Amino acid sequence: MTRELASRINRHGERVRLVWDANSGAVAIELSDGGGVERHAPVPSERALAAFRDPYLYVDPTCLVAA
């Protein structure tokens, strides 16, 4: 079961979500642009808040889509 810990819209219009998997204990950051492009990356639990504040430190920048 995945649980959303926090959510916000960043200045680029992407939805940033911090999620936790209750079964595995894994934490991840997810970005979605509303147009179907979704990116995610695992995050060490002790860095969860930092990842939520600056998700581009964790999500692979080569996945960025030019507007």
Question: Alpha-carbon distance 12 to 53, whole Å?
Answer: 14
Q: Give the DSSP H/E element, type plus range, for residue 53.
A: helix 48-53
Question: Alpha-carbon distance 4 to 19, whole Å?
Answer: 4
Which 8-state DSSP code applies to residue 52?
H
Q: Could you tell me how far CA 63 lies from the centroid of its own chain?
A: 13
Q: Count CB neighbours of 37 within 10 A.
A: 12
Q: What is the pLDDT along the chain (67 residues), one digit of tens a residue?
A: 999 999 999 998 999 999 999 999 999 999 998 888 889 999 999 999 999 999 988 987 666 544 4
